[in-house]
């Protein structure tokens, strides 16, 4: 009677309108305020780093997709763009472009594609690229320049956390003011300095339900508790929790890196465990470690535990007896 | 006051406005009805008639000695044309009785109502319900007589009347509630008597305020509480509705009996009343006909065995661009290969629309939306991966058999992964394995 072939499939037959590319581009949009801030503070250094990272990431992604005979549409799902932007934002503004290119290639190759591409990576790809550079080129990765908005003649310039750790900033009274940290008028990685711009973007991501609120909140609470105790006991040696929240890579790490969907837990309880681990690790490294900053290593370290955390934090099934 | 609801779940676009104000109209039965002998959860009935027999409207034409089964009645009067395999909405062809309608609706003379239905004993109510072939009309089609027979060691204190109709697009239950509140409340009272419960709770979602107001104002003698629930899917699923209304949790692998509850859909409650008070067998039901492929959406009272195309023709006909026919709602409905299939007792809706090519599937990005929406507390993406990579024991220990296939996970998946499909596959494999084991031992 009919020559139409009717669709046969299993339910459900309705779908939410959100999609992987839409989520990825929402993250890109949320980064725009911080990207704008990096242009304002570091001028044309920013342009070079963003371009090189984008080119490096997209070309590496293309080569791998071709070699693995995967469909090319994956190139435009937005994930490689995010990796490129986040990597550039966590590089020192004065880093040479060749090194940035190496970082971008490593981020995609070692951080993502060797595991099987989007969704299969254990670590945050941008942080893998950054960690590679940090280990391979430690001097270049810790040479900082002042933002263009500060009239500083010196070629190198200490970051607020470096200042705290190596220059006894608290007793000298040279600790970076919170207002400068909040706005980003200070030294540091390209896109990490302006807490205000990062928070603006993060607010959009909350609204868009892209990031799990438990993760940044858990990191804030655990680092706050850890750093807070030492600060209350010895305020002349240790900086306040608020300083730790606003300084260094905390904001970009807590809101953008740790919340990466692929490399963070999928269970609610798991998110709390993972976040507390990151917060405490940051505290330990910043207060007692050899490096002034510990956000990157803390996140990568906790990334390794995610499969295990997921496994042991299965939610309670409806009707399952509560464990006593 | 904060409205009650269950944990997690989703709120898909309701799309109910097209039919919610359209009263139920009786649909004239077609020239031929095809009445399958399996329309319920359990064993198929065996035919009691053969080719050439004369049958009356409401005459029993199929029955089974099995406990989990339901008898089948003719929905028209006329002559039996054949008893043979026929396309069935559940997918596989099944034995069906085809009756040529003589258009006279000559009733079965044995149909007789009870004098004072509310004075009957529980056993008398159960016998009348079983004789009328009543099954759950919410969609699962579980034999109602079985549900009215709680095991001796379980005491039942609450009867829940399910007026949620949480599936988008469907409004048949909504119309039944508006048009037949007395029958529903009387049916609920019969159910309460049959299971020996103390309370009746009618759960209604807040997108049907008119029904809530009507039931609230309605005079009745039985101990009825009417509760407004926050609209959310799958509120009408038994375990979730029990959680929403009573904060009780049906134990894993258990039944509502285990927490002292019996749940009946509003349409089933009305059918129970009709069966006991008038002796009317279940030979027709309310069906919502909707979707963008239906020119004139309607709510219809349709005789069981009416082919889908007859119903669709009455609503403006099948459109050339339509390529999806569903029995049931858009979240749990079954796709149909052909509009020839008949309406059965579980047909709550006939939905038709046209769809372009399916959206692109991506890898799981671990967004955890399936986890935060699963009303059963499962981790659907993990279950999917367990099935995909053949780790069935792990799928089982992760709770795959607790899945009710509501589709919340797949609805919210931005990677368009057919999660429910994978989970169904895994459940089937596990259950087949179990069957093999018990057969060999």
pLDDT tens column, B199-212: 999 999 999 999 99
| Mean pLDDT across B269-291 | 96
What is the spatial distance between Cα A170 and Cα A230, in angstroms, rounded to a whole number?
A: 14
Across A188-192, A223-227, A302-306, least confident range? A188-192
Provide the pLDDT for residue A176: 85
Mean model confidence pLDDT for chain A: 92
Q: Which residues of B touch A272 (CB under 8 A)?
A: none
Question: pLDDT tens across A126-137, in order?
Answer: 999 999 999 999
- Last residue in a domain, options A91, A108, A140: A140
Structure tokens that stand for A82 in this block: 């995010």
For B117-278, CATH gives 3.40.50.11540
A294 or A146: whose pLDDT is higher? A294
Provide the pLDDT for residue B60: 96
Query: Are A245 and A294 within one domain?
Result: yes
Of B168, B254, B309, the CB nearest to A319: B254
Contact B108, B59 (CB under 8 A): yes
Across A4-8, A231-235, A248-252, B166-170, least confident range? A4-8
H, E, C per residue of chain B: CCCECCCCCECCCCCCCCCCCCCEEECCCCCEEEEECCCCCCCCCEECCCCCCEECECCEEEECCCCCCCCEECCCCEEEEEEEEECCCCCCCEEEEEEEECCCCCECCCCCCCCCHHHCCHHHHHHHHHHCCCECCCCCCCEHHHHCCCCCCCCCCEEEEEECCCCCCCCHHHHHHHHCHHHHHHHHHHHHHHHCCCEEEEEEECCCHHHHHHHHHCCCCCCEEEEEECCCECCCCHHHHHHHHHCCCCCCCCCHHHHCEEEEEHHHHHHHHHHHHHCCCCCEEEEEEECCCCCCCEEEEEECCCEHHHHHHHCCCCCCCCCEEEECCCCCCEECCCCCCECCCCCCEEEEECCCCCCCCCCCCCCCHHHHHCCCCCCHHHHHHHHHCCCHHHHHHCCHHHCCCCCHHHHHCCCCCCHHHHHHHHHHHHHHHHHHHHHHC
Structure tokens that stand for A319 in this block: 């009707």
pLDDT over 50 at B110, yes or no: yes
Structure tokens that stand for A310 in this block: 């997921």
Residue B247 CB neighbours (<10 A):
9
In a domain, A319, yes or no: no
In a domain, A70, yes or no: yes
Using the 8-state DSSP alphabet, how is residue A238 labeled? S
Kindly report the nearest CA distance between residue B13 and chain A, in angstroms: 9
Residues 6+ positions from B265 with CB-CB distance below 8 Å: B136, B137, B138, B161, B162, B173, B236
Is A118 within 8 Å of B365 when comparing Cβ atoms?
Answer: yes
Domain range summary for chain B, segments of one domain joined by +: 117-278, 369-440
pLDDT over 90 at A266, yes or no: yes
Residues 6+ positions from A171 with CB-CB distance below 8 Å: A236
Q: A116: left (phi > 0), else alpha (psi -120 to 50), else beta?
A: left
| Mean pLDDT across A269-292 | 95
- Report the number of distinct structural domains present in chain A: 2
- Last residue in a domain, options A125, A140, A155: A140
What is the spatial distance between Cα B11 and Cα A301, in angstroms, rounded to a whole number?
A: 37
In a domain, A254, yes or no: yes
pLDDT over 80 at A153, yes or no: no
Is B325 within 8 Å of A6 when comparing Cβ atoms?
Answer: yes
Of A6, A264, A319, the CB nearest to B324: A6
pLDDT band, very low/low/confident/very high, at A4 (cuts 50, 70, 90): low
pLDDT band, very low/low/confident/very high, at A152 (cuts 50, 70, 90): low
Please indicate if any CB of chain A lies within 8 Å of the CB of B359. Answer: yes
Provide the pLDDT for residue A158: 77
Provide the pLDDT for residue A3: 52
In a domain, A322, yes or no: no
What is the spatial distance between Cα B229 and Cα B235, in angstroms, rounded to a whole number?
A: 9
Using the 8-state DSSP alphabet, how is residue A192 labeled? T
Please give the residue of chain A at the shortest CA–CA distance from B406.
A12
Provide the pLDDT for residue B67: 87
Mean model confidence pLDDT for chain B: 94
Contact B90, B336 (CB under 8 A): no
Residue closest to B286 by CA, chosen among B306, B309, B263: B306
pLDDT band, very low/low/confident/very high, at A174 (cuts 50, 70, 90): confident
Is A318 within 8 Å of B7 when comparing Cβ atoms?
Answer: yes
Please indicate if any CB of chain A lies within 8 Å of the CB of B330. Answer: yes
pLDDT exceeding 90 applies to what percent of chain B? 90
Q: Which residues of B touch A123 (CB under 8 A)?
A: none
- Strand B298-303 vs strand B284-290: parallel, antiparallel, or unpaired? antiparallel
Query: Are A71 and A186 within one domain?
Result: no
Of A266, A268, A315, the CB nearest to B366: A266
Structural domain that includes position A264: 163-308
For B239, half-sphere exposure in the C-beta direction (CA atoms, 13 angstrom radius) is 23
Query: Are A174 and A282 within one domain?
Result: yes
Query: Are A84 and A196 within one domain?
Result: no
In a domain, A323, yes or no: no
- Last residue in a domain, options A140, A172, A205: A140
Structure tokens that stand for A169 in this block: 């900033």
Q: Is A313 helix (H, G, I), strand (E, B) or coil?
A: coil
Question: Between helices A295-303 and A268-288, what is the axis angle to 10°?
Answer: 140
Using the 8-state DSSP alphabet, how is residue A254 labeled? I
Residue A312 CB neighbours (<10 A):
12
Residues 6+ positions from A79 with CB-CB distance below 8 Å: A20, A24, A112, A118, B365
| Mean pLDDT across A56-79 | 93
Is A316 within 8 Å of B168 when comparing Cβ atoms?
Answer: no
Question: Which contacts of A224-231 are long-range, i.e. CB under 8 A and separated by 24 or more positions?
Answer: A224/A279, A225/A279, A226/A279, A226/A280, A226/A283, A226/A284, A226/A287, A227/A283, A227/A286, A227/A287, A230/A287
pLDDT over 80 at B441, yes or no: no
CA dihedral A105, A106, A108, A114 (to 10 degrees): 130
Is A268 within 8 Å of B320 when comparing Cβ atoms?
Answer: no
In a domain, A146, yes or no: no
Q: Which residue has the tokens 């053949």?
A: B390
Provide the pLDDT for residue A2: 47
User: Which residues make beta-bridge pairs with B46?
Assistant: B63
pLDDT over 80 at B126, yes or no: yes
Interface of B with A in 370-409 (CB under 8 A): 371-372, 375-379, 381-382, 398-399, 402, 405-407
In a domain, A52, yes or no: yes
Please give the residue of chain A at the shortest CA–CA distance from B258.
A319
CA distances from B204 to A49, A216, B87, B182, B198 (A): 58, 38, 35, 16, 20
Of A16, A22, A267, the CB nearest to B379: A267
Kindly report the nearest CA distance between residue A288 and chain B, in angstroms: 34
pLDDT over 80 at B123, yes or no: yes
Query: Are A126 and A191 within one domain?
Result: no
What is the spatial distance between Cα A301 and Cα A258, in angstroms, rounded to a whole number?
A: 11
Kindly report the nearest CA distance between residue B25 and chain A, in angstroms: 27
Kindly report the nearest CA distance between residue B178 and chain A, in angstroms: 27
Sign of torsion over alpha carbons A194, A195, A201, A202: positive
Across B59-68, B211-220, B280-289, least confident range? B211-220
pLDDT over 90 at A306, yes or no: yes
- Strand B72-73 vs strand B60-63: parallel, antiparallel, or unpaired? antiparallel
Question: pLDDT tens across B148-165, in order?
Answer: 999 989 999 999 999 999
Query: Are A32 and A103 within one domain?
Result: yes
Query: Are A132 and A191 within one domain?
Result: no
Using the 8-state DSSP alphabet, how is residue A167 labeled? S
Q: Which residues of B touch A117 (CB under 8 A)?
A: 363
Provide the pLDDT for residue B426: 97
Report angle CA A185, A188, A194 to the nearest 5 degrees: 45
In a domain, A6, yes or no: no
Please indicate if any CB of chain A lies within 8 Å of the CB of B415. Answer: yes
Of A11, A263, A317, the CB nearest to B332: A11
| Mean pLDDT across B273-292 | 96
Identify the residue among A19, A319, A320 best suited for mutation to test binding to B, counting B beta carbons within 10 A and taking the highest.
Answer: A319
pLDDT over 60 at A324, yes or no: no
Provide the pLDDT for residue A155: 54
Q: Which residues of A touch B334 (CB under 8 A)?
A: 11
Query: Are A135 and A191 within one domain?
Result: no
- Most confident among A72-76, A319-323, B305-309 (mean pLDDT): B305-309
CA dihedral B114, B118, B122, B123 (to 10 degrees): -10
What is the spatial distance between Cα B104 and Cα B110, in angstroms, rounded to a whole number?
A: 17
As a 3-state breakdown, chain A gives helix, strand, coil percent values, each rounded to 5, of 60, 0, 40
Question: pLDDT tens across B6-35, in order?
Answer: 999 999 999 999 999 999 999 999 999 999
pLDDT band, very low/low/confident/very high, at B369 (cuts 50, 70, 90): very high
Query: Are A51 and A82 within one domain?
Result: yes
Residues 6+ positions from B263 with CB-CB distance below 8 Å: B159, B160, B162, B238, B241, B242, B256
Phi, psi values for residue B423, rounded to 5°:
-65, -45
């Amino acid at each position: 009677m009919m020559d139409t072939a009717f669709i046969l499939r299993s339910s459900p037959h309705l779908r939410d309108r959100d999609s992987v590319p839409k989520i990825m581009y929402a993250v890109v949009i949320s980064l725009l305020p911080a990207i704008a801030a990096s242009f304002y503070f570091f001028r044309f250094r920013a342009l070079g780093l963003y371009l090189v990272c984008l080119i490096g990431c997209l070309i590496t992604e293309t080569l791998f997709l071709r070699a693995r005979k995967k469909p090319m549409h994956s190139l435009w799902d937005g994930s490689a763009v995010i990796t490129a932007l986040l990597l550039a934002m966590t590089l020192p503004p004065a880093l040479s472009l060749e090194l940035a290119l190496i970082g971008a290639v490593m981020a995609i190759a070692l951080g993502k594609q060797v595991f099987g591409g989007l969704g299969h990576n254990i670590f945050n790809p941008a942080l893998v690229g950054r960690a590679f550079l940090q280990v391979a080129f430690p001097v270049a990765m810790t040479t900082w320049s002042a933002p263009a908005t500060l009239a500083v003649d010196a070629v190198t310039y200490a970051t607020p956390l470096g200042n705290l750790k190596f220059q006894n900033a608290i007793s000298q009274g040279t600790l970076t003011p919170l207002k400068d940290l909040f706005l980003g008028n200070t030294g540091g990685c390209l896109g990490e300095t302006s807490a205000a711009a990062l928070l603006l973007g993060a607010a959009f991501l909350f609204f868009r339900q892209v990031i799990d609120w438990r993760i940044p909140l858990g990191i804030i609470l655990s680092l706050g508790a850890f750093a807070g105790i030492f600060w209350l006991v010895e305020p002349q040696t240790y900086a306040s929790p608020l300083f730790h929240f606003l300084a260094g890579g905390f904001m970009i790490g807590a809101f953008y890196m740790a919340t990466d969907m692929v490399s963070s837990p999928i269970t609610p309880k798991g998110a709390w465990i993972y976040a507390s681990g990151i917060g405490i690790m940051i505290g330990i490294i910043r207060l007692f470690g050899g490096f002034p900053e510990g956000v990157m290593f803390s996140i990568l370290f906790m990334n390794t535990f995610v499969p295990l955390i997921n496994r042991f934090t299965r939610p309670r099934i409806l009707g399952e007896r509560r464990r006593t | 006051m904060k409205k009650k609801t269950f944990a997690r779940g989703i709120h898909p676009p309701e799309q109910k406005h097209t039919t919610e104000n359209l009263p139920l109209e009786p649909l004239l039965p077609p020239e031929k009805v095809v009445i399958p002998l399996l329309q319920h959860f359990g064993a198929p009935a065996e035919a009691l008639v053969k080719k050439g027999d004369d049958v009356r409207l409401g005459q029993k034409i199929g029955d089974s000695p099995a406990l989990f089964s339901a008898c089948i009645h003719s929905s028209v009067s006329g002559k039996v044309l054949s008893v043979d395999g026929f396309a069935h909405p559940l997918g596989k062809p099944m034995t069906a009785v085809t009756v040529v309608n003589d258009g006279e609706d000559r009733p079965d003379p044995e149909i007789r109502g009870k004098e004072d239905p509310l004075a009957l004993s529980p056993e008398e109510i159960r016998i009348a319900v079983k004789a009328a072939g009543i099954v759950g009309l919410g969609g699962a089609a579980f034999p109602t007589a079985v549900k009215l027979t709680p095991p001796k060691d379980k005491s039942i204190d609450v009867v829940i009347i399910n007026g949620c109709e949480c599936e988008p697009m469907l409004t048949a239950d909504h119309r039944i509630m508006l048009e037949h509140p007395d029958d529903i409340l009387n049916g609920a009272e019969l159910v309460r008597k049959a299971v020996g419960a103390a309370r009746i709770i009618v759960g209604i979602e807040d997108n049907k305020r008119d029904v809530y107001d009507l039931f609230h104002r309605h005079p009745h003698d039985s101990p009825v509480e009417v509760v407004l629930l926050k609209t959310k899917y799958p509120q009408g699923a038994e375990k979730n509705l029990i959680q929403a209304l009573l904060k009780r949790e049906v134990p894993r692998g258990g039944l509502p009996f285990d927490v002292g509850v019996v749940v009946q859909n509003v349409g089933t409650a009305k059918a129970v009343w009709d069966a006991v008070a008038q002796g009317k067998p279940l030979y027709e039901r309310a069906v919502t006909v909707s979707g963008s492929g239906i020119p004139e959406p309607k709510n219809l009272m349709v005789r069981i065995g009416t082919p889908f195309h007859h119903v669709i023709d009455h609503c403006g006909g099948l459109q050339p661009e339509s390529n999806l026919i569903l029995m049931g709602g858009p979240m749990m409905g079954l796709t149909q290969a052909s509009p020839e299939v008949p309406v059965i007792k579980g047909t709550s809706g006939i939905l038709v629309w046209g769809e372009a090519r399916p959206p692109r599937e991506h890898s799981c990005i671990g967004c955890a939306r399936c986890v935060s929406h699963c009303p059963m507390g499962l981790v659907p993406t993990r279950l999917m991966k367990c099935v995909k990579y053949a780790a069935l024991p792990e799928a089982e220990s992760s709770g795959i058999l607790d899945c009710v296939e509501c589709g919340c996970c797949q609805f919210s998946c931005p990677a368009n992964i057919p999660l429910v499909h994978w989970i169904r596959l895994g459940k089937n494999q596990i259950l087949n394995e179990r069957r093999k084991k018990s057969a060999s031992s």
